[in-house]
Structure formats: structure tokens, C-alpha cells
Amino acid sequence: MSGTLVLVRHGQSEWNLKNLFTGWRDPDLTEKGVEEAKSAGRKLKAHNLVFDIAYTSELSRAQRTLTLMLEELGQQDLETIRDEALNERDYGDLAGLNKDDARKKWGEEQVHIWRRSYDTPPPGGESLKDTMARTVPYFITRILPDVMDGKDVLVAAHGNSLRSICMMLDRLSPEEVTGLEIGTGIPLVYALNPNTTVASKLVFDE
């Protein structure tokens, strides 16, 4: 019997609040982001989830989100593996820019393509396809074996690193993934079949 896989995007960051492209830059959580992370932990505890291992990125907003969730779960000492393979996608020249200013400079349509398309990268940055090239192999070789061994696994990462993993798990096409939004601090709970396909998916957004 496989374990449970829980994916959580970090709580609101200071740059999310300021409407800035973040990427590999490293702002902290806002007060709202801290509360979102704590709330995610409380939701997981309410569903009696106890984790065997956790994974997160090399960026502090994801790491702090994980720490706050584990405090709510009473699992502060849980084994945690950090890897930049789970980092947000690199926004290149857009990092640090206000999204509204970027729209004024390059146009609404172009910025939307950079943000949501599958294979069009922003200048100097990664597309979602590029992001998948590092997140999915890491997921398949490191995280998935734990789940298939029956472990309950918690992953705290980022909007696009998680979009890329969800694209694979949910078997979304490049066209379908453009509409996939992952909210901050909302746990996505997967149960997998023995052949690694998705048996069930729950979204703890209440």
C-alpha cells in the first residue's frame, strides 16, 4: 500500500504581497503567509496525518512554511531533505520586477505567456518545461519511492515547481496546465495506486 503525498505551496511571501516576480530570490513570509502555513499544518493535523519524511527547496519561504506546519503537527524533529531541484522556477530578467510594470513594458499577452505557458521562458529564465526538467526527475528518483514504500511524505515548495509535479501526476497537457493555479498554504493530498497513477486527490482549502 502506498503512502500519502502532500504538496503545499509556501505561504504568502513579501514579494507576493508586493506583486513582484520572485523566482530564485529569497524574500521571507508575510504575517499572512505565516498564518497560511500554520493553518495548513492545522488542517493536516485535523485529518490525523503523521509524516515520515519531508522535502523542501533551498529557498527560505518554503523552508519556513514547512517549519511552521511541522510545529502545528508536533513533528518538529521530522527528517527533512532540502534540494534546489524543488526551487521555484527562475524568472530570469523578470525577477524583482512588479508584474504590472512588466505588463506595461511588454504587454499583457506576452507577460501572461511567460507566466503560464508550458515552454516559453521569460528572458534569461526558465519555462515550466525547463522547471520540469529538474523537478520531475528529482520527484521520480527521490520522493516517489518513499511514497510507494508506504511513507507519508510532506513537500513544501513553490507555485511552479509544484505545478510541474501536478502536471505529471494529474496527466495534464501543456494546454491544460496553463490554467492550473496552486494557492498559497493549501495542502494537496494525493493517494497513489501501485502503478504510481493517482487513486485520489483532495484539496484542503476550507
Residues annotated as part of the active site? 10, 88
Contact call for residues 185 and 7 (beta carbons, < 8 A): no
Helix extents (H) in 59-98 = 60-73
In order of 2, 54, 74, 98, 151, the CA distances from 50 in angstroms are 14, 11, 9, 39, 10
Cβ partners under 8 Å of residue 141, min gap 6: none
The DSSP letter of residue 87 is: S
